[in-house]
Amino acid sequence: MAVPPPVSFPNRISHQPSFAVQAPASAHSSCRMSMTDLLNAEDIKKAIGAFAAADSFDHKKFFQMVGLKKKSPDDVKKVFHILDKDKSGFIEEDELGSILQGFSPDARNLSPKETKTLMAAGDKDGDGKIGVEEFSSLVAES
């Protein structure tokens, strides 16, 4: 009986498909969006100036002055996501203390008293942070 000749196989090359997964543009909108995409820069400047003195911050007047009160619910949520620096879905106390800087990088921090007052006004469920719906209510009540 004859032995068949050895069978040779061509070198196998592993073909890895190359592709990139890209998230929809809407998923990145709050990452790249700045406050001046939503609000007038001059209004922001005037509002920041009006509350430059320590312990002078009034969120109701501030939200009105920057034009946030007149914005659509969707735009108010976009502002929330800009202010939510760590993208946790909430504005925690440390983020709240620097809320003015979310509108203008050279703005001052809120005092501890102002921060606590704002948290008390916005934190409807008492969990120590402000969610998007709570923020929307806070703006609507302004």
Where do the domains of the chain lie?
35-140
Compute CA 74 distance to the chain's CA centroid, rounded to the nearest angstrom.
Answer: 13
Which pTM was predicted?
A: 0.76
The region, left, alpha or beta by phi > 0 then psi within -120 to 50, assigned to residue 87 is left
What is the reported pLDDT for 106?
93
* Binding site members for Ca(2+): 84, 86, 88, 90, 95, 123, 125, 127, 129, 134
What is the reported pLDDT for 53?
95
What is the reported pLDDT for 18?
47
The residues, any chain, with a CB within 8 Å of residue 130's CB and separated by 6 or more, are 90, 91, 96, 119, 122, 123, 138
What is the reported pLDDT for 9?
55
* Binding site members: 84, 86, 88, 90, 95, 123, 125, 127, 129, 134
The residues, any chain, with a CB within 8 Å of residue 57's CB and separated by 6 or more, are 51, 100, 110, 111, 114, 118
Closest CA to 128 of 141, 118, 142: 118
Regions of the chain with pLDDT less than 70: 1-32
Q: What is the pLDDT of residues 83-109, one digit of tens each?
A: 999 999 999 999 999 999 999 999 999
Q: Does domain 35-140 have CATH number 1.10.238.10?
A: yes
